[in-house]
Amino acid sequence: MKHFTCTALLLSPLLLVAGDAEAVVTGSIQARLVILPACQVSAGAQDLPANLGQLDFGNQGPTWTRPLNANVEGNGGALQVTCNASVRGFTVTIDGGVNGDGTTRRLSNGRQTIPYRLTADAAGTDIYRIGQQRNFAVSAGSLGPIPVYGAVVANTSALPAGTYRDTLTVTLDW
C-alpha cells in the first residue's frame, strides 16, 4: 500500500493539469537536395539509360568494294553529354566488344566474323583504340557531343547471309 500511495502522490499533479491544459508543439522539417558533380547522356532530346544507341551499317549484298560507314545514333540523334559546372571534362572508353579478340572489333553471325573499327571522326582517322580512354572537355550546362563512327573494310569475298552483330561496352567517367 505504501508503494501505491507514493505513485498516486507523484501522478496527482499531472492528473489535475491534464484536464485543463492545451498543448501546442512546434518543430521544423529540414529539406535537402544534394547535386553531385555529374553528367547526363542523351541522344537528341531523349535521356539514355544503358543502351546508348546503334551503329547500323545497313543491308549489303555478299560483297562490297568500298568501306561501309555508320555513326552511332540513339532514338533522337547523336550522342551528347550535359554536365553541371563541377565537371570540366569526361572520358570515354570503348571495349573490344563481345566478338573482339583484344586487338580487333568484330561483327559476328555466330559462325563468321567481319572486322570493323571505331573512330571519333567521319574521315576515320581518329581511332578509338580498344580499352583506351579518350578525353573530352565540356562547358557547364552545354551539350558536348560524343562522336562515334564505324567502318567495315571493303570485302570482295562472298560472305554468308545473316545478321552480323556485336555489343560494345562504353564507359563514361567524370
Domains of the chain, CATH where assigned: 39-173 (2.60.40.1090)
- Who has greater pLDDT, 149 or 38? 149
Type of residue numbered 151: A
Report residue 100's pLDDT band, with 50, 70 and 90 as the boundaries.
very high
Q: How far, in Å, are 5, 7, 8, 65, 140 from residue 2 at the CA level?
A: 5, 9, 10, 108, 76
Cα-to-chain-centroid distance, residue 161 = 33
For 129-169, what is each residue's pLDDT tens digit? 999 999 998 887 777 888 999 999 999 999 999 999 999 99
How large is the average pLDDT for residues 56-64? 94
How large is the average pLDDT for residues 89-94? 92
Residues linked to residue 142 through DSSP beta bridges, in sequence order: none
Structure-derived torsion over alpha carbons of residues 17, 20, 22, 23, reported in degrees to the nearest 10:
10
Question: Which DSSP string corresponds to 74-90?
Answer: -SSSBEEEEE-TT--EE
How large is the average pLDDT for residues 37-61? 79
Grid coordinates belonging to 2: 505504501
pLDDT at 50: 65
